[in-house]
Structure 1
Amino acid sequence: MARLGDGLDEIGKEFVLTRIIQMRGVDTAVFNFDFDLSWAGFFLNADLTVYGRYGTRRDGGDSQYSTSALKEAMTKALAIHKAYPANRPSLAPKNIKASNLGKMPEQMPAIEVQFRNPDIPRNCIHCHHVWKGVRRSRMADKKPMPDNLLWVYPMPDTIGVTIDVADGAKIASVAAGTPAAKAGAQAGDVVLSINGAPMFSIADFQFVLQNSPDQATLKVEVQRGTETKVLSIAISGDWRKAADFTWRTSCGDLRLGMQMESLNDGERKAAGLRAGGIKVKNAWPKGPAGMAGFQAGDVIVALNGQPVPDKETDFLAWIRQKFLPGQKIKLTVVRGAKKQDISMDVP
């Protein structure tokens, strides 16, 4: 949580500050952000137009937060507010209404029974419960999970740029051979806007990426020294899939009732594998996998006779995109020196 005493006291006086500590009663069409965050900031007009967002996590930690970047975002929000509403059209990419949101979490059919009792804190609705409601709705409808509900809120790294955490808009580095590099992005460039929308933070960048189709061209305006340039960054194919999503609290619903981890070289050799394979880290006894017979230490080598990926992210994506809840699958495991098949229904 940001505190005004952290150097934000003076600029904080320019805002009406409101703290929301849980998601019950929150309109997700307006407060649309990465729901796996521990803290997020919104800059809004009184008419609920979003000026910008602040707050980003990577691998479950809070290394992407800084007081200096938050202060910079607040400064930019004030400039936007001063020019409002004449600049309202430019804010449209920051105010996209996702088709699978637009309800208060307690009204989402897939989870409303769980939170029907408004007793707080026992029935406190956490941010990650929103992803649970969205994903469980697709599962209930027997629909495969799309990429943008698995690899949610991609970091700018997925297209090749790392943003300076202390600044929030300056490019710290550009990875060779990536879409950003091919478009001419350079370290030191300051991102001013994407598709015409002013950028305040890494979170703003992520929101644009989250709402981009699998194939698109991003018009990225940057300040380079005294010059302003517009870069055309083309994204296509599996650009989202560079990230690991298993650190996310909301990932629990994607699992089969067990957590997995990659094999080391010795474990792979012992299982008789040259590549692939994944180990069961733990199987919850009352979960689907535990009740089917899985145990910690089991090495999964095949699913319905096909070799399995060696990363949990790829394994879960395969399950959720190729199989539907209720569908029976057969997993081949190596336990000790023996190989056996375990069948279960996809939860």
Structure 2
Amino acid sequence: MDEFVCLRMIQMNGVDLAQFQFDFDMSFAVFFMNPDGAIYGRYGTRADRPDEADRFVSLEGLAASMEAALALHRNYPGNADFLQGKKGPEPEYARAELYPQLTKYTPKINYENEVAKSCIHCHQIHNAERQELRDAGKSIPDVVLYPYPIPDVVGIRFDPDTRSTVAEVAPNSPADLLNLQPGDQILNANEQPLVSMADFQWVLHHASPGGATIPIKVWRQGKVATLDLVLEDGWRKKTDFTWRVSTWDLRRMVLGGMVLEPDKSAPTGLAVKGAGKYGEHGVARRAGVREGDVIIEIAGIHEPSTEAQVIAHLLSTTKKGDPVAVSIRRNGKEMSFTFNAQ
């Protein structure tokens, strides 16, 4: 730690979004950087299950990532070209408060008496980006709806106590098909050095939703092996985004504020876990929906299997103000309601 100059950032007000691009639904994110702005790597991954949110981070893993970042630093600037992919494209807005939905905020927090009200939370950037697309009547692309996929989506489970060592490979997954093995350490992906699992997510985030081939190099039993990770069209949609804080705003847009969960009384289907009460989050409740209702059909999907499936379908098939029809079962009786998408 003594070899680093540490800076803690607790808000997104005034932050340079060209420099600091990361998963804005994270609860903990680290950048390893050179003073000139070059990025050596990122650290911090949140699991997709609320009860295991921190299973991909550990002090041991952070220490290993810091050692890897220091190794890159010692070889800088000789490896500068190798680090170019660590930065993303120029964002549409240079700072969060320039988004049309966030213009009420200023570049600095008001520490006098309105700290909470004046602070831009990380996840609000995802919200603002999606709302702008929604307001313009545009569909939300997969890269925005399914950001920073967890490596599980390609069949890789990393050991959280290491820099980038594979702990498990899911059978018949893209990782299994390229013969990736437990114990392999992924050195780089798409010609970018990895200092952590978060770096691998960065590579996945920038891979085409329509399919891609990602070259990776692994350290296996004292030798370097080069492999090609092949992703098929639609690969991103195998990940679940409903754990994300920013999903609350998507529920407002197309579910009328409903929170859906698997129906515990049947092997398939969804039930209403919660229905908002206020403002646009209370639209479904005001239409008649209640907690415990079992979804029979919504927007043409009969017995939907996941909440993510329903949200993605409605985002692609509705615009603001369009009616959303939902049929439910309550105490053995079937009922139908309609509310408007936001």
Same fold (TM over 0.5): yes
* 2:19 counterpart letter in structure 1: V
Q: Deviations over 1:116-162 (max 9, x none)?
A: 99532332111111111111111111112222222221111111111
Q: Answer yes or no: is the 8 Å Cα contact 2:299–2:314 preserved in 1.
A: no
Q: Secondary structure at the match of 1:232?
A: strand
Of 74, 79, 82, the match for 1:87: 79
Matches within 5 A, 1:133-282: 133-214=128-209, 215-255=211-251, 256=255, 257-264=257-264, 266=265, 268=266, 276-282=268-274
Distance 1:216 1:98 in 2: 22
* 2:240 counterpart letter in structure 1: D
Distance 1:115 1:303 in 2: 40
**Unpaired runs of at least 5, structure 1:** 1-11, 269-274
Q: Secondary structure at the match of 2:116?
A: coil
Shift of residue 293, structure 1, vs aligned partner: 2.0
Shift of residue 74, structure 1, vs aligned partner: 1.1
Of 66, 72, 85, the match for 1:74: 66
Partner of 1:14: 3
* 1:87 counterpart letter in structure 2: N
Deviates more, 1:240-249 or 1:161-170: 240-249
* 1:56 counterpart letter in structure 2: T
Shift of residue 233, structure 1, vs aligned partner: 0.8
Deviates more, 1:19-28 or 1:197-206: 19-28
Task: Decide whether aligned partners of structure 1 residues 166 and 116 sit closer, same or farther in structure 2, where only a CA change above 3 A counts.
Answer: closer
Shift of residue 292, structure 1, vs aligned partner: 2.0
Task: Decide whether aligned partners of structure 1 residues 114 and 253 sit closer, same or farther in structure 2, where only a CA change above 3 A counts.
Answer: farther
Q: How many residues align?
A: 327
Partner of 2:97: 106
* 1:124 counterpart letter in structure 2: C
Q: Answer yes or no: is the 8 Å Cα contact 1:153–1:207 preserved in 2.
A: yes
Partner of 1:311: 306
Q: Answer yes or no: is the 8 Å Cα contact 1:276–1:301 preserved in 2.
A: no
Q: Answer yes or no: is the 8 Å Cα contact 1:308–1:315 preserved in 2.
A: no
Q: Answer yes or no: is the 8 Å Cα contact 2:105–2:120 preserved in 1.
A: no
Distance 1:163 1:117 in 2: 37
Distance 1:196 1:219 in 2: 7
Partner of 2:33: 44
Distance 1:41 1:234 in 2: 28
Distance 1:114 1:332 in 2: 40
Distance 2:275 2:125 in 1: 25
Shift of residue 238, structure 1, vs aligned partner: 2.4
Q: Deviations over 1:73-98 (max 9, x none)?
A: 11111121222222112112211226
* 1:340 counterpart letter in structure 2: M
Q: Deviations over 1:222-271 (max 9, x none)?
A: 0001110110111012222222221111110110211111112x3x4xxx
Distance 1:259 1:98 in 2: 34
The alignment yields a C-alpha RMSD, in angstroms, of 1.9
* 2:124 counterpart letter in structure 1: H
* 1:94 counterpart letter in structure 2: K
Shift of residue 276, structure 1, vs aligned partner: 4.9
Q: Secondary structure at the match of 2:100?
A: coil
Task: Decide whether aligned partners of structure 1 residues 341 and 117 sit closer, same or farther in structure 2, where only a CA change above 3 A counts.
Answer: farther
Q: Secondary structure at the match of 1:324?
A: coil
Distance 1:302 1:230 in 2: 47
Task: Decide whether aligned partners of structure 1 residues 278 and 115 sit closer, same or farther in structure 2, where only a CA change above 3 A counts.
Answer: farther
Shift of residue 328, structure 1, vs aligned partner: 1.4
Shift of residue 308, structure 1, vs aligned partner: 4.1
Answering whether residue 24 of structure 2 is matched by residue 35 of structure 1, we say yes
Q: Answer yes or no: is the 8 Å Cα contact 1:108–1:133 preserved in 2.
A: yes
Distance 1:116 1:25 in 2: 4
Distance 1:306 1:19 in 2: 46
Shift of residue 99, structure 1, vs aligned partner: 4.4
Distance 2:299 2:5 in 1: 57
